[in-house]
Amino acid sequence: MIVDYLVIGQGISGTFLSYYLRQEGKSVLVVDNNQSNSPSRIAAGIINPVTGRRMVTVWMAGELLPFATKAYSEIGHALGITPLSSKSVIDFFPNPFMRESFIKRIAENDGYVHAFPEQNQFNQHFQYEFGCGEIRPAYLVHLEILLPAWRQQLLKDNQLLEDDFDVKELIVHADHVNYKDITATAIIFCDGAAGFENPYFSLLPFAPNKGEALLVEIPGLPAHSIYKKNMTLAPMAEQDLFWIGSVYQWTFDHTDPTPDFLENATQVLKNWIKLPFRIRDHVAGVRPATLERRPFVGVHPQFRNIGILNGMGTKGCSLAPYFARQLTDHLLYAMDITAEADVQRFSRILTRK
Angle between helices 143-156 and 61-79 (to 10 degrees): 50
Give the integer Cα–Cα distance in Å for 185 and 21.
13
Distance CA 51, CA 61 (A): 11
For the CA atoms of 32, 37, 77, 242, the dihedral, rounded to the nearest 10 degrees, stands at 170
Position 317, amino acid: C
Confidence (pLDDT) at 137: 93
pLDDT category at 120 given cuts 50, 70, 90 is very high
More confident site: 314 or 127: 127
Domain with CATH 3.50.50.60 in the chain: 2-42+145-204+291-350
Q: Taking a C-beta distance cutoff of 8 angstroms, is the pair 292, 345 a contact?
A: no
Q: What is the pTM of this model?
A: 0.94
Q: Compute the distance between CA of residue 19 and CA of residue 148 in angstroms, rounded to an integer.
A: 14
- pLDDT at residue 46 greater than cutoff 70: yes
Q: Is 184 helix (H, G, I), strand (E, B) or coil?
A: strand
Q: What is the CATH number of domain 2-42+145-204+291-350?
A: 3.50.50.60
Predicted pLDDT at 108 = 87
Q: Where in the chain is the domain with CATH 3.30.9.10?
A: 86-137+207-287
3 state DSSP class of 290: strand
Per-residue model confidence (pLDDT) at position 20: 98
Domain at 86-137+207-287, CATH class: alpha beta
In sign, the C-alpha dihedral spanning 30, 31, 32, 33 is: positive
What is the torsional sign of CA 68, 73, 75, 80?
Answer: positive
- Tell me how far the alpha carbon of residue 90 is from its chain's centroid: 21
Q: Read off the pLDDT of residues 206-246 as tens digits, 9 standing for 90 and up.
A: 998 899 999 999 999 999 999 999 899 999 999 999 999 97
Query: Is 216 within 8 Å of 280 (Cβ atoms)?
Result: yes
Instruction: Name the nearest CA neighbour of 75 among 154, 138, 8.
Output: 154
Return the percentage of the chain with pLDDT > 90, whole number.
Answer: 86
